[in-house]
Amino acid sequence: MTNKIGNFIAGKWSDSLSGRRFQSRNPADNRQVVIEAPLSGRDDVDRAVAAARAALPSWRRLPAPRRGEILYRAGELLNANRQRLGELVTGEMGKVIAEGLGDVQEAIDIAYYMAGEGRRLQGETVPSELPDKDCKSIREPLGVVALITPWNFPIAIPAWKLFAALICGNTAILKPSSDTPACAAALVEILAEAGVPDGVVNFVCGPGEEVGEYLFCHPDLDAASFTGSCAAGERLERLLAPLHRPLALEMGGKNAIVVMDDADLELALEGTLWGGFGTSGQRCTAASRIIVHERIHDRFVGMLSESASRLRLGNGLDAGTHVGPLVNESQGQKVLDFIGIGREEGAQMLTGGHRVTDGELAHGFFIAPTVFAEVTPQMRIAREEIFGPVVSVLRCASFEEAVATVNAVPFGLSSAIYSRDVNVTARAERELATGIVYINASTIGAEVHLPFGGWRHSGSGHPEAGGRGGAVDFFSRVKVIYRDYSGRLQKAQIDK
């Protein structure tokens, strides 16, 4: 890729009709421009939707196994370019290189998985209650779908949405976050090289308020999928409600790890550090609440604060970096504001709590991993999503109290429990009110062959990834077919 990208519409890269552009910068060093991208407007969206609509009839009629072969080739190309793409993720989003490579690996995994779904898009064949009649259901695409994706998984999440939409026979318009357009463009390039026909995948850059909302409400659109903040997702939900348009939302979380008094504390510590500070806390599944049994509370808090203080901040491409930068200044300022709120609420800050500006770090937005203790469930830092390297430790006296605390927030995405008691963990599986539950593991680490999604304010109930129960169920609809070969009118229940 050059240092400039365009929109991708009807198989061609082109500038926005206005000719305006914006820059994506390296969050570890904001002096470095990663890419220049088109600042699109409504006319560009109209062109992209028209291209997707024109490409739909031939794509939906292409047999699903043939669509799967194209996705398989995309997976092979992603794998061949994994290092380059992983470095691009780190350079544009800021996560450490191991996580950047993992971002690409998720896209590879979902490519292979969805390629296989091309031979598994099954419905049902069931016996009829009448003679000389058969009954079946089949899956059909929704049509033209719009996809808005966030910056924190700039290749993986576009791949999650695109590959599921494509295998089901839909055509798509992808609008990525304006913080990471280069990563999304690289994925679209891979799909074009893999043989996706012109117009099947279209790519438009621009601001969410103008481009994203107009795209989702476009009169020639059939469905939409969004991953991002609760505020943006809930606004889109309100806008689309009168249109009766299928909408999948994957939004925020206030995820918790429960550490019981019989837990393996070293294992729980590793899970807390990974869940709380991996991706600099910029994951919807980040572990921002740690609920610790009072018998081991003080010991565990000491272990956590000491370990967090030793995490090394830096450019994600540098060997030895544990925690990268926040994606941009506004996100960093939001995190600093929450740290101030925690102090005002009376929480005890044990480590971190400040922006790090030493040497080269001065040119990025780095915040030291922060641990608050003596946090109560009513505090804002224990209830609201921070999306940064800030962990709040709460005390509990029992399993029941821990579960009640986990479930007391408006979100329900991910939760985890550390305990050696199989009966306790079995009860946790049942009682934790989140879409994902981890036993003796952190709140992050979903696998693509199972659905990914949250409850309540964390999402709309249409999970990503997976097959049955996941994205395939959202991006396809069921048609029921009755065939009567009796040669006479049969009236179902009336004839009975």
Q: Is-catalytic flag, 250?
A: yes
Residues 429 and 436: beta-carbon distance below 8 Å: no
Residues 71 and 118: beta-carbon distance below 8 Å: yes
Secondary structure of 261-272 in the HEC alphabet?
CCCCHHHHHHHH
CA–CA separation, 344 and 52 (whole Å)? 51
Six token digits for residue 158 = 């576009």
Closest listed residue to residue 170, CA positions, set 191, 188, 145, 187 = 145
Q: Is-catalytic flag, 230?
A: no
Helix/strand/coil for 38? strand
Q: Could you say which of 92, 99, 250, 464 is catalytic?
A: 250
Burial class (CB in 10 A: 0-12, 13-18, 19+), 103: buried
Burial class (CB in 10 A: 0-12, 13-18, 19+), 397: exposed
Helix/strand/coil for 357? coil
Write the DSSP string, 73-92.
HHHHHHHHTHHHHHHHHHHH
Q: Could you say which of 168, 205, 230, 284 is catalytic?
A: 284
Six token digits for residue 391 = 């962990």
CA–CA separation, 199 and 232 (whole Å)? 27
Residues 216 and 224: beta-carbon distance below 8 Å: yes
CA–CA separation, 81 and 211 (whole Å)? 30
From residue 253, alpha-carbon distances to 155, 390, 411, 457, 487 in Å are 21, 14, 5, 8, 57
Q: Is the dihedral of CA 229, 185, 49, 198 positive or negative?
A: negative
Could you tell me the strand order of the sheet in which 171-175 lies?
A: 12-14, 7-9, 201-203, 171-175, 144-148, 223-227, 247-250
Six token digits for residue 79 = 């794998």
From residue 429, alpha-carbon distances to 313, 394, 433, 440 in Å are 35, 21, 9, 12
Q: How many CB atoms lie within 10 A of CB 388?
A: 25
Q: Which residue has the tokens 């009709």?
A: 17
The residues carrying an active-site annotation are 250, 284
